[in-house]
């Protein structure tokens, strides 16, 4: 081997770099173990300890700080560490409307509605669909009349064409997504999560956010979805608004069926005008025997039955309206009903245009979830606030004089001047506090606080205070400082993993990895004797380098990533097997060991490179088109393939040649394996039609099953929410489904057994985009589960919106097609015969169809999930890579035999049979080692990976089968047909 010095140098450098990259994890673990010993179970004490040494040197010799080494330890994904994965979608509909100043034009709004409806079934973006729909509805219409505003004057003129408007909107949409990405990144960076990850999904309006270790889901949702639309409003006094509410109540009462008793709430006499805490607790604690009085109250006072006026009891015992901007109180469960009432057309007509009603952001009673309703006074024809939030230059969390958390705002100079004027007007007469007005501070349509102003604020520095926690003020300051999102951002996909599930995943992943490694090492020793030791050293080096490279590039380990590691272990032996089988052939020709090794490596290079490159193609495609855990799998697989080629070709050869130089005896088989496959003469070509029939039966049965029974689609392919729930005692899936059907308002979920518990899939409220919908759904879930009377734990939760699910399906189909096309092109180029490429495509299609058929046929008949989801697509692509790897090795030997002058007189079937028989030992050994590993992964990898590993196992079995009985026989079919066509010409 030439350039041994370079190879040795590269191996030494790679070893040192891997040791250095992995050392950060060992140092971090040592420091954190010291912290655990110091804290003795006190988590807050443990955190304080780690915070105190954050900037202290902890790495020997190099003096790296704890913070430095912590950032460079092996990163664990959400499924191993627990945490939250969120897919944000920037709502470009709101942007398109706001750029046109929210027009009321019917054609404009209908076109936008149509575009939104067509988005899931079209490859075009929202802007293109909107322009297209507008031109359909108004062929001569000009969009410029909406967009040639004062704000857009520099870019859009009144005579601009629709295509120019489209270009303008595309530019603004791209800018909005990029700005949203930067704003969200700023918020997340200040959130305090270790190793957060935020990615802009190219070519879309989606942003992927990963927050390992996060447990407070609501806090994350508020942080990410808050658009930071900060506004300052003057307020109305309760006495000014009560008559309006009274009129609304009377209108609603008039709609009710007539009853004998008719009572309408008034300021002086109302059956529910009590002090607010007593009123709300009485309403909540009412027993069934009082239900008739509650019903009567709801009929006579529909609004005031659920919205309590803000009153207080005076010294004379009379109820009076409470002064201030709060006009009412309601339980959280009633706020949606009240909003629906105010949205009715006849009710909206009673509320003046210069009155806006907003709920407070926090419950004033945490026990009963009571929220305040405020009345604010917008200005101008479009209902603008007195001051917009873009005047804020800085914000920070702080504490007031009483030690309560608050947010301090600092305004820009122009904002400070306007703020001084507004606060001076609100302060009123300094002689009378009764003249003091309140100013409501509104963020994203929720009132954070509405304090009375005692005097003007001249310097633009003021505070937002309320019943806040330290974390809430920190997040609020973060949002204000990061800035306002240019368009609303909604969570369309969510994946939450509990820390206990993460620990189980790590344990099972380690067990399956170690067990798989041990099995492969023992198998290589059993089959190749002393040469097996050398292959095992190369395999261990491969594993070490893989871990080191993953750590050095900051790649995230996921559970599918561990599966990729296990699979890499199985596939890494292939190159060694190819080399050893060629060396054995050379030894049988009577060559010396030294010459046999040199020729064996030389003859194996072509098959090793071709087989690994084709597998690499599918891995790269999966890496580019995958995300989240699947990206971790693809990253591991790609790095593993590259490293395994290096260790098999170079490290193995260095060890072999050194052993030969030291006159060590090296055997390449044991007494049991020496004669295995020796002189095999199986006629693959002659019996090919029997295998065609076998494959056809499976595929046809599968197609019938697909059209009759279908598939079990995972939540990421059909949209919805899925929860993994563990119970302390066994619970029937029928009982779980029944309890949740009632809780989900007769929307029956899908409930399947899953390990020690169940997996629940539901599309309940999946199209609801309101900010608190996740809280509502989780509340309904817990409501149903609690009725079972068994202790439970929600260990995993995932949400995928319908548009995301559609995009995932589309990208999965493209990934499979792209992989097949790329492999076809590579094989045609390398083998210079289209027949080889076409036969490879037939084999790949065969493998995919068989796998789909088996998943449909067995769905519901095996005690584990066979969902078609992203993990299944990853398995399909990997199986394709493995199958083509196997096929290319066979093709390489067929090509070699076809080009050998000694075979010129042989018939094509004979040449193909000889080639297949000569590679049979390699095919079986590689297949068996990979199958052993996948069986271990299937048994020990845990429930999450069971369906994935089953797909891989079936795929590898049929991938090996197709390379022998489908791909190569089809080469014969195509070459014969091509020769006949030439003869006819």
CA-to-CA separations, 477 to 215, 371, 394, 609, in angstroms, rounded: 21, 23, 8, 56
pLDDT for the residue 748: 80
Question: pLDDT for 3-40, tens place per residue?
Answer: 677 888 888 888 999 999 999 989 988 888 888 888 88
CA gap 936, 915 in Å, rounded: 32
Would you say residue 921 has pLDDT above 50?
Answer: yes
Which of the given ranges, 87-91, 126-130, 278-282, 556-560, has the highest pLDDT on average? 126-130
CA gap 249, 984 in Å, rounded: 92
Would you say residue 784 has pLDDT above 70?
Answer: yes
* Of 881, 858, 885, the residue nearest 947 (C-alpha): 858
What mean pLDDT comes out for the span 63-75? 83
pLDDT for the residue 723: 84
What mean pLDDT comes out for the span 532-540? 89
CA gap 486, 184 in Å, rounded: 11
What is the per-residue burial (b if ≥16 Cβ within 10 Å, else e) of 711-740?
bbbbbbbbbbbbbbbbbeeebebeebbbbb
CA gap 86, 220 in Å, rounded: 9
pLDDT for the residue 498: 63
Boundaries of every domain in the chain = 4-73, 87-227, 230-255+301-484, 498-666+677-709+807-984, 720-800
Backbone conformation region of residue 602, classed left if phi is above 0, alpha if psi is from -120 to 50, else beta: alpha
Specify the residue for token string 């589309």. Answer: 810
pLDDT for the residue 279: 29
Identify the weakest region by mean pLDDT among 454-468, 478-492, 542-556, 657-671.
478-492
Instruction: Tell me the pLDDT of the chain averaged across its residues.
Output: 79
Q: Are 691 and 966 in contact (CB under 8 A)?
A: yes
Question: What percent of the chain has a predicted confidence (pLDDT) above 90?
Answer: 5
pLDDT for the residue 802: 61
What is the per-residue burial (b if ≥16 Cβ within 10 Å, else e) of 364-392?
bbeebbbbbbbbbbbeeeeeebbbebebb
Residue 550's contacts (CB-CB under 8 Å, 6 or more residues apart) are 74, 557, 635, 636, 639
pLDDT for the residue 983: 47
Domains 230-255+301-484 and 498-666+677-709+807-984 share a fold: no
DSSP 162-177: HHHHHHHHHHHHHHHH
Question: pLDDT for 746-778, tens place per residue?
Answer: 888 888 777 667 888 888 887 776 767 777 888
Would you say residue 277 has pLDDT above 60?
Answer: no
What mean pLDDT comes out for the span 870-895? 80
pLDDT for the residue 673: 80
Pairing of strands 446-449, 356-360: parallel
pLDDT for the residue 287: 36
Higher per-residue pLDDT: 392 or 291: 392
pLDDT for the residue 281: 27
CA gap 579, 654 in Å, rounded: 13
Q: Are 447 and 372 in contact (CB under 8 A)?
A: yes
CA gap 900, 97 in Å, rounded: 71
* Of 909, 842, 482, the residue nearest 681 (C-alpha): 909
Confidence class for position 262, pLDDT limits 50, 70, 90: very low
Question: pLDDT for 943-970, tens place per residue?
Answer: 777 887 888 889 889 988 888 888 888 8
Cβ atoms within 10 Å, residue 586: 20
Would you say residue 699 has pLDDT above 90?
Answer: yes
What mean pLDDT comes out for the span 700-721? 83
Question: pLDDT for 227-251, tens place per residue?
Answer: 667 788 889 988 899 999 999 998 8
Would you say residue 275 has pLDDT above 60?
Answer: no
Question: What percent of the chain has a predicted confidence (pLDDT) above 70?
Answer: 84
Would you say residue 867 has pLDDT above 90?
Answer: no
Would you say residue 465 has pLDDT above 60?
Answer: yes
CATH entry 3.30.70.3400 includes domain 720-800: yes
Pairing of strands 387-388, 750-754: unpaired
CA gap 26, 21 in Å, rounded: 10
pLDDT for the residue 147: 86
- Which uninterrupted H or E stretch holds 290? none
pLDDT for the residue 696: 93
Residue 837's contacts (CB-CB under 8 Å, 6 or more residues apart) are 823, 824, 825, 827, 828, 831
pLDDT for the residue 285: 36
Confidence class for position 697, pLDDT limits 50, 70, 90: very high
Tell me the CATH number of domain 230-255+301-484, given options 3.40.50.1580, 3.30.1360.200, 1.10.1740.10, 3.40.605.10: 3.30.1360.200
Identify the weakest region by mean pLDDT among 439-448, 528-537, 802-811.
802-811
Confidence class for position 276, pLDDT limits 50, 70, 90: very low
What mean pLDDT comes out for the span 294-311? 77
Question: pLDDT for 192-219, tens place per residue?
Answer: 555 667 777 666 677 777 777 676 777 7
pLDDT for the residue 328: 92
Confidence class for position 269, pLDDT limits 50, 70, 90: very low
pLDDT for the residue 376: 92
Question: pLDDT for 321-349, tens place per residue?
Answer: 888 889 999 887 788 788 889 988 888 88
Would you say residue 374 has pLDDT above 90?
Answer: yes
Confidence class for position 667, pLDDT limits 50, 70, 90: confident
Would you say residue 191 has pLDDT above 50?
Answer: yes
What fold does the segment set 498-666+677-709+807-984 form as a domain? Multidrug efflux transporter AcrB transmembrane fold (1.20.1640)
Would you say residue 365 has pLDDT above 70?
Answer: no
* Of 768, 790, 803, 606, the residue nearest 92 (C-alpha): 803
Cβ atoms within 10 Å, residue 760: 25
Residue 347's contacts (CB-CB under 8 Å, 6 or more residues apart) are 248, 251, 252, 341
pLDDT for the residue 916: 86
pLDDT for the residue 778: 83
Confidence class for position 705, pLDDT limits 50, 70, 90: very high
Confidence class for position 833, pLDDT limits 50, 70, 90: confident
Cβ atoms within 10 Å, residue 947: 23
- Which uninterrupted H or E stretch holds 73? none
């Amino acid at each position: 081997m030439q350039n041994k010095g370079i190879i040795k140098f590269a191996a030494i450098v790679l070893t040192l770099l891997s040791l250095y990259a992995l050392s950060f994890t060992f140092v971090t673990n040592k420091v954190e173990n010291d912290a655990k010993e110091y804290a003795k179970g006190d988590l807050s004490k443990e955190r304080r300890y780690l915070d105190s040494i954050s900037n202290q040197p902890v790495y020997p010799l190099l003096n790296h700080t704890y913070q430095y080494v912590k950032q460079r330890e092996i990163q664990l994904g959400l499924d191993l560490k627990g945490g939250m994965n969120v897919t944000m979608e920037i709502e470009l509909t709101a942007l398109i409307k706001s750029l046109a100043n929210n027009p009321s034009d019917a054609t404009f709004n209908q076109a936008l509605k149509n575009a939104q409806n067509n988005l899931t079934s079209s490859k075009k973006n929202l802007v293109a669909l909107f322009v297209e729909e507008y031109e359909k509805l108004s062929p001569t219409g000009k969009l410029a009349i909406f967009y040639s505003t004062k704000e857009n004057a520099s870019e859009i003129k009144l005579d601009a064409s629709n295509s120019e408007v489209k270009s303008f909107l595309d530019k603004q949409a791209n800018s909005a997504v990029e700005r949203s990405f930067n704003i969200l990144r700023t918020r997340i960076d200040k959130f305090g999560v270790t190793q957060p990850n935020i990615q802009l999904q190219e070519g879309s309006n989606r942003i992927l956010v990963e927050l390992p270790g996060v447990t407070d889901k609501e806090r994350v949702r508020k942080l990410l979805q808050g658009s930071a639309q900060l506004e300052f409003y003057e307020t109305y006094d309760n006495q000014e608004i009560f008559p309006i509410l009274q009129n609304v109540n009377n209108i609603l009462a008039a709609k009710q069926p007539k009853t004998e008793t008719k009572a309408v709430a008034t300021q002086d006499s109302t059956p529910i005008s009590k002090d607010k805490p007593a009123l709300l607790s009485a309403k909540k604690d009412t027993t069934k025997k009082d239900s008739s009085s509650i019903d009567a109250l709801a009929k006579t006072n529909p609004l005031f039955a659920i919205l309590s006026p803000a009153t207080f009891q005076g010294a004379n015992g009379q109820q009076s309206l409470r002064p201030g901007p709060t006009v009412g109180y309601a339980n959280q469960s009633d706020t949606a009903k009240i909003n629906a009432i105010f949205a009715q057309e006849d009710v909206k007509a009673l509320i003046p245009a210069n009155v806006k009603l907003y709920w407070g952001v926090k419950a004033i009673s945490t026990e009963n979830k009571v929220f305040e309703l405020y009345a604010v006074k917008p200005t101008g024809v479009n209902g603008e606030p007195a001051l917009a939030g873009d005047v804020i230059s800085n914000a920070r969390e702080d504490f007031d004089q009483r030690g309560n958390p608050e947010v301090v705002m600092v305004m820009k100079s122009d904002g400070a001047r306007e703020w001084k004027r507004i606060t001076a007007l609100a302060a009123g007469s300094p002689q009378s506090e009764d003249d003091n007005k309140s100013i409501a501070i509104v963020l994203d349509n929720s009132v954070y606080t509405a304090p009375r102003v005692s005097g003007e604020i001249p310097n633009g520095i003021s505070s937002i205070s309320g019943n806040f926690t330290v974390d809430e003020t920190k997040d609020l300051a973060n949002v204000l400082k990061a800035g306002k999102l240019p368009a609303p951002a909604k969570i369309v996909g969510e994946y939450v993993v509990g820390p206990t599930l993460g620990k189980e995943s790590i344990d099972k992943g380690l067990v399956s990895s170690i067990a798989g490694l041990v099995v492969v090492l023992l198998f290589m020793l059993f089959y190749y004797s002393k040469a097996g030791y050398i292959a095992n050293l190369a395999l261990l080096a491969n594993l070490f380098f893989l871990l080191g490279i993953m750590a050095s590039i900051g790649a995230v380990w996921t559970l599918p990533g561990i599966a990729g590691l296990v699979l890499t272990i199985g596939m890494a032996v292939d190159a060694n097997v190819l080399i050893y089988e060629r060396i054995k052939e050379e030894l049988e020709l009577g060559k010396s060991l030294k010459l046999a090794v040199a020729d064996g490596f030389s003859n194996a290079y072509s098959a090793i490179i071709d087989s690994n490159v084709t597998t690499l193609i599918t891995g790269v495609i999966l890496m580019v088109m995958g995300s989240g855990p699947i990206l971790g799998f693809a990253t591991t697989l790609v790095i593993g393939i590259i490293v395994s080629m290096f260790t098999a070709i170079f490290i193995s050869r260095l060890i072999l040649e050194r052993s030969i130089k030291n006159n060590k005896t090296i055997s390449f088989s044991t007494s049991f394996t020496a004669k295995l496959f020796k002189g095999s003469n199986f006629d693959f070509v002659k019996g090919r039609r029997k295998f065609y029939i076998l494959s056809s039966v499976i595929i046809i049965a599968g197609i019938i099953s697909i059209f009759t029974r279908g598939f079990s689609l995972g939540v990421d392919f059909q949209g919805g929410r899925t929860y993994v729930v563990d119970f302390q005692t066994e619970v029937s899936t029928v009982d779980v489904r029944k309890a949740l059907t009632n809780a989900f308002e007769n929307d029956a979920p899908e409930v399947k057994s899953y390990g020690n518990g169940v997996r629940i899939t539901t599309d309940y409220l999946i199209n609801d985009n309101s900010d608190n919908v996740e809280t509502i759904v989780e509340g309904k879930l817990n409501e149903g589960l609690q009725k079972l009377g068994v202790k439970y734990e929600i260990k995993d939760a995932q949400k995928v919106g319908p548009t995301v699910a559609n995009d995932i399906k589309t990208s999965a189909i493209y990934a499979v097609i792209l992989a097949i096309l790329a492999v076809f092109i590579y094989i045609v180029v390398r083998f210079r015969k289209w027949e080889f490429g076409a036969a490879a495509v037939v084999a790949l299609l065969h493998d995919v169809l068989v796998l789909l058929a088996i998943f449909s046929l067995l769905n519901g008949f095996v005690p584990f999930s066979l969902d078609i989801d992203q993990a299944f697509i990853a398995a399909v692509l990997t199986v394709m890579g493995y199958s083509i790897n196997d096929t290319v090795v066979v093709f390489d030997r067929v090509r070699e035999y076809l080009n050998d002058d000694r075979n010129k007189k042989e018939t094509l079937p004979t040449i193909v049979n000889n080639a297949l028989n000569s590679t049979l030992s390699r095919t079986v050994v590689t297949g068996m080692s990979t199958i052993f590993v996948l069986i271990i992964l299937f048994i020990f990898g845990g429930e999450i990976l069971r369906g994935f590993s089953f797909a891989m196992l079936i795929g590898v079995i049929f991938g090996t089968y197709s390379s022998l009985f489908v791909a190569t026989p089809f080469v014969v079919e195509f070459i014969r047909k091509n020769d006949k066509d030439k003869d006819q010409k």
